[in-house]
Structure 1
Amino acid sequence: MLSDILIIILSSLGALFILLAAVGFVRMPDSYLRISVTTKAVTLGVGLLLASAAIYFNDLSVTSRVLAIILFIILTSPVGAHLIARASYFSGNKMWEKSVMDELEGKYRPNSHRLSSGEDIEDVEKMKEEPDRESDLI
């Protein structure tokens, strides 16, 4: 009885988070915000759904697989989202016009694909002054 209530609560919350991720994907104004919303909400939603499946089956093999899948999703989802957003930024996808800050502005050279960390201001100034060379394209 208690496990049935817990299964209902976890699966309902998981479905709700996935629904909110879908709504956020439609409502957000640019791809960077869409990536952020969907990564966080879907990761939590899938984790809750898998947890409810582990409770439903009440088997050690299913529970260990569920925990492995949840760990894999928690580790890979943010990395994948970061790489997609980074590739999107470097390919020239514009941010929303009401975005407050662009932390990579002036730190990336599209011709040479060089990115300054921004820790050393002299390096950033040097990158701005250096002309792009053909050897940098390698």
Structure 2
Amino acid sequence: MDMVMEIIIAAFLVIGGVFGLVGNYGLIKLDHPMARLHAPTKATTLGVGGVLIASMIYSFAFEAEGSLHELLITLFLFITAPITANFISKAYLHRHAHEETLPEPNGDTNWAVLERPEWSPEPEKTQEG
């Protein structure tokens, strides 16, 4: 039984390590900041999650005590990583918004609504004069 548990723990450690390696590689090699943000929030979160699951299995199988610290860390990580990525991406989009492409507010409102004309399949006719 110990050998089976060790294989399961080793599998979770290897899976976690591979996800962590892929996440860090993406963080270094991707060019665009939004793509660079995607790598650590997805892959590295799963990598740390795999290592923490291996730690939980080890504590339940071999120490016979069981600790919920790893479960709480995993839940905290899975909840906060997407929220943090959302805030960082909103800040990036807000900082790099091109104000010249935004339409002017109309009426008595303080915000603009981008209304693009409907696409028509017929080409526009030009008058030659």
3-state SS, counterpart of residue 57 of structure 2: helix
TM-score of the superposed pair, with normalisation by structure 2: 0.69
Residue 22 of structure 2 corresponds to 20
3-state SS, counterpart of residue 113 of structure 2: helix
Contact kept, 8 Å, 2:59 with 2:66, in 1: the verdict is no
Contact kept, 8 Å, 2:24 with 2:40, in 1: the verdict is yes
3-state SS, counterpart of residue 124 of structure 1: coil
Q: Which 5+ residue runs of structure 2 have no aligned equivalent?
A: 116-129
Letter in 2 for 1:13: I
Residue 113 of structure 2 corresponds to 124
Once the two structures are superposed, what CA deviation does each residue of 1:107-135 show, in whole Å capped at 9, x if it has no partner? 8x9xxxx8x7xxxxxx5149xxxxxxxxx
Q: 1:75 aligns with which of 58, 79, 87?
A: 79
| Distance in 2 separating the partners of 1:53 and 1:41 | 19
Q: 1:86 aligns with which of 90, 93, 101?
A: 90
Question: Which has the higher Rg, Structure 1 or Structure 2?
Answer: 2
CA RMSD of aligned residues (A): 2.7
Q: Which 5+ residue runs of structure 1 have no aligned equivalent?
A: 95-104, 117-122, 127-138
After the TM superposition, list the runs of 4 or more consecutive aligned residues in structure 1 that deviate by more than 3 angstroms: none
| Distance in 2 separating the partners of 1:86 and 1:38 | 17
- Residue correspondence of structure 1 range 31-70 to structure 2 within 5 A: 31-58=33-60, 59-62=64-67, 64-70=68-74
3-state SS, counterpart of residue 54 of structure 1: helix
TM-score of the superposed pair, with normalisation by structure 1: 0.65
| Sequence identity (%) | 28
- Residue correspondence of structure 1 range 5-16 to structure 2 within 5 A: 5-16=7-18
| Distance in 2 separating the partners of 1:60 and 1:79 | 33
Q: CA distance change for structure 1 residues 60 and 93 in 2, over 3 Å: closer, same or farther?
A: farther
Contact kept, 8 Å, 2:102 with 2:114, in 1: the verdict is no
